[in-house]
């Protein structure tokens, strides 16, 4: 499926809803250039018989629009036949108007965007990477769960053009596995199919082999190619974009000069330094930057690899941006009926993919080596992709590195090859291995001594090492003042002077998180005593004694 492109019906309405009436159309010039889309004739409509009207009503119920007239169909076919020869000349021709909704690119942020073309809809089984038997298994399992479905509904569930699904329907019909229950007026898209007794046996066998019932999988080669086209290295990071991403934080200006090239490289980043100075917030800020301003990418529902199915799309991680457009096109979850002409599916992107924002996956001390391998469900007999593969095209943040259950050395040894070659190897339950792209911005964040965690061989593979140190006094004062404004507390320079005189100048290093933590204690004391929050010397002393006490 495709993510986030607003529907365009040439009616000026970009809200994503389905147009209720065709837009007004200007009369074309006397000798228009050939166009892929037919022009609309404003002459009086031809008369239709009652049977033709019945067929038109059924077509409208299925696809949400009236069928084209015969002359218009011929015009469409002839226009499409010369479309490839007239692309250059048609650029100067006046635009034609299409009644059917189409998916177009969404307005993109001008600051930083990675232009990524969507996968195109397959026109043949060879282009889809599927076999007839794979399509037949999906059809049998769908019908087993739903009892009966229209032909177009089966295509909708599989996210494939009907002409591909129809090859499986014809094969199953010839094999006496399915039968047509009703619908013989406008073609096989309107047929309602049921399972026969033999078909139910075949469906149970298909379920025993694999219980996956969803959109048809894409090939591993197509997934790998798309991942490399939409890698983080394709984004453009500027100083203005970084300043906007960290506008709510106060950081030293030189830090932006270190973060910018690290993001543009799309390689690994090692963030280290003493605790409490914003390493996690800065790492999350980079994730937010790529998620909101790094463009949109595409991820498939599932991938077929070595006769196994690996699910990739995870709604808890991947933020889709194409929901309104797909709903208006008749493929949303809340759409009661399919409203789109199956002939128009070939003009859409491949609906087996979803368009999403660049994902951000954050893990901490709970990370284990098992979470970096395929998760196999023995009952369902298919796989779920590991976390770092779901983060392809985005950010994978390992927070509190060195505090995981697994030792840092084992974790680093697991990733030495992926960091170097930009590929990872996953193992199926059968023992077969296959390679997948390792195309994400991976960030290691730790407050431990790097020399105790990693060796020189690993540090060589980490392209960017960024140290987040304790803030100097002027920067600490700015942070303290910002925290006061955020909490509507009058700022008092005397409070900062008290902290430095009694603590920081005595050898205790200041931390960027100290102002936030101290002010929260001050607020708690004042709420308990029902008094106004003012940074008096007595109140600051009481808060610091609670906060800096030795345990």
Cα distance between residue 140 and residue 549, in whole Å:
68
Residue 101 falls inside a structural domain: no
CATH of the domain at 479: 1.10.8
Which residues are CB-neighbours of 87 under 8 A, at least 6 positions away?
none
- b/e per residue, 210-235, with b = 16+ CB within 10 A? bebbbbbbbbbebbbebbebbbbebb
One domain, residues 420 and 530: no
From 444, 467, 490, give the residue that closes a domain. 467
pLDDT of 147-168, one tens digit each? 899 998 999 999 999 999 999 9
Residue 495 falls inside a structural domain: yes
One domain, residues 274 and 376: yes
pLDDT of 455-489, one tens digit each? 777 788 888 999 999 999 999 999 999 999 999 99
pLDDT of 101-119, one tens digit each? 333 334 434 445 555 788 9
One domain, residues 274 and 369: yes
Residue 497 falls inside a structural domain: yes
pLDDT of 302-323, one tens digit each? 999 988 999 999 999 999 998 8
Q: Do residues 501 and 481 touch, judged by C-beta distance below 8 A?
A: no
- 8-state DSSP, 303: E
361 bridge partner residues: 396
% of the chain beyond a pLDDT of 70: 75
Cα distance between residue 46 and residue 26, in whole Å:
21
Cα distance between residue 434 and residue 219, in whole Å:
12
Total structural domains within the chain:
3
Q: Do residues 330 and 351 touch, judged by C-beta distance below 8 A?
A: no
Residue 246 falls inside a structural domain: yes
CA 345 to mean position of chain CA atoms:
22
Q: What pLDDT was estimated at residue 526?
A: 94
Measured from the Cβ of residue 75, the count of other Cβ atoms closer than 10 Å reads 18
One domain, residues 375 and 452: yes
Q: Do residues 255 and 466 touch, judged by C-beta distance below 8 A?
A: yes
Q: Which of 217-221, 273-277, 382-386 has the lowest mean pLDDT?
A: 273-277
Q: pLDDT tier at 25 (50, 70, 90 boundaries)?
A: very low
One domain, residues 530 and 392: no
Strands 218-219, 302-305: pairing kind: parallel
One domain, residues 289 and 196: no
One domain, residues 512 and 404: no
Q: pLDDT tier at 3 (50, 70, 90 boundaries)?
A: very low
Q: pLDDT tier at 174 (50, 70, 90 boundaries)?
A: very high
From 185, 216, 247, give the residue that closes a domain. 216
One domain, residues 241 and 371: yes
Residue 9 falls inside a structural domain: no
Residue 104 falls inside a structural domain: no
Residue 321 falls inside a structural domain: no
Phi-psi category of 415—alpha, beta or left, where left has phi over 0 and alpha has psi -120 to 50?
alpha
> Helix, strand, coil shares of the chain as percentages rounded to 5?
40, 15, 45
Q: What pLDDT was estimated at residue 115?
A: 56
- Report the C-alpha dihedral over residues 145, 150, 156, 158, rounded to 10 degrees: 50
* In the block, residue with structure tokens 């890698």: 231
% of the chain beyond a pLDDT of 90: 48
CATH of the domain at 137: 1.10.10.10
One domain, residues 248 and 366: yes
Give yes or no for residue 248 having a pLDDT over 70: yes
Q: Tell me which residue range forms the domain holding 150.
A: 131-216
One domain, residues 406 and 281: yes
- Report the C-alpha dihedral over residues 389, 394, 398, 399, rounded to 10 degrees: -150
Query: Which phi and psi (to 5°) does residue 155 adopt?
Result: -65, -35
């Amino acid at each position: 499926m495709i993510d986030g492109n607003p529907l365009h019906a040439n009616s000026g309405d970009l809200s994503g809803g389905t147009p209720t009436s065709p837009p007004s159309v200007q009369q074309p010039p006397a000798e228009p250039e050939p166009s892929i889309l037919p022009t609309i004739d404003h002459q009086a409509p031809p008369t239709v018989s009652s049977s033709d009207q019945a067929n038109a009503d059924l077509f409208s119920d299925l696809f949400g629009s009236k069928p084209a007239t015969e002359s218009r169909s011929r015009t469409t076919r002839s226009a499409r036949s010369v479309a490839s020869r007239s692309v250059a000349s048609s650029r100067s021709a006046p635009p034609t108007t299409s009644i059917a909704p189409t998916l177009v690119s969404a307005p993109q942020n001008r600051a930083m965007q990675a232009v990524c073309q969507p996968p195109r809809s397959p026109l043949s089984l060879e282009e889809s990477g599927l076999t007839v038997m794979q399509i037949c298994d999906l059809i049998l399992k769908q019908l087993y769960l739903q009892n009966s479905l229209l032909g177009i509904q089966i295509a909708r569930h599989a996210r494939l053009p009907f002409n591909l699904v129809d090859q499986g329907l014809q094969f199953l019909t010839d094999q006496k596995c399915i039968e047509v229950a009703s619908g013989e007026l406008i073609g096989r898209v309107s047929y309602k199919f049921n399972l026969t007794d033999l078909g139910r046996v075949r469906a149970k066998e298909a379920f025993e082999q694999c219980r996956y019932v969803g959109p048809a999988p894409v090939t591993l080669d197509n997934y790998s190619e798309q991942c490399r086209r939409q890698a983080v290295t394709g984004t453009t990071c500027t100083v203005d974009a970084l300043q906007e991403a960290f506008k709510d934080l106060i950081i030293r200006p030189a830090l932006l000069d270190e973060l910018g090239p690290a993001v543009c490289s799309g390689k690994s980043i090692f963030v280290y330094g003493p605790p409490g100075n914003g390493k996690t917030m800065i790492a999350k800020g980079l994730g937010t930057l790529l998620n909101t301003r790094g463009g949109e990418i595409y991820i498939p529902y599932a991938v077929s690899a070595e006769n196994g199915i690996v699910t990739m799309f995870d709604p808890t991680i991947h933020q889709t941006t194409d929901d309104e457009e797909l709903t208006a096109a008749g493929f949303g979850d809340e759409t009661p009926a399919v409203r789109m002409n199956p002939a128009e599916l070939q003009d859409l992107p491949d609906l087996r993919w979803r368009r999403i924002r660049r994902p951000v996956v954050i893990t901490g001390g709970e990370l284990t080596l098992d979470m970096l391998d395929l998760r196999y469900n023995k009952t369902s007999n298919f796989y779920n992709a590991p976390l770092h593969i779901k983060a392809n095209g985005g950010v994978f943040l390992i927070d509190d590195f060195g505090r995981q259950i697994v030792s840092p050395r084992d974790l680093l040894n697991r990733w030495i090859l992926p960091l170097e070659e930009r590929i990872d190897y996953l193992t199926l339950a059968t023992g077969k291995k296959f390679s997948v792209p390792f195309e994400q911005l991976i960030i290691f964040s730790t407050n431990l001594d790097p020399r105790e965690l990693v060796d020189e061989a690993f540090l060589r593979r980490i392209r960017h090492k960024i140290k987040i140190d304790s803030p100097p006094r002027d920067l600490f004062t700015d942070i303290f003042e910002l925290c006061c404004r955020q909490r509507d507390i009058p700022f008092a320079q005397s409070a900062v002077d008290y902290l430095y005189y009694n603590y920081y100048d005595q050898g205790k290093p200041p931390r960027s998180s100290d102002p936030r933590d101290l002010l929260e204690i001050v607020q708690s004391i004042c709420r308990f005593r029902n008094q106004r929050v003012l940074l008096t010397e007595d109140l600051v002393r009481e808060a610091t004694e609670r906060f800096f006490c030795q345990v």
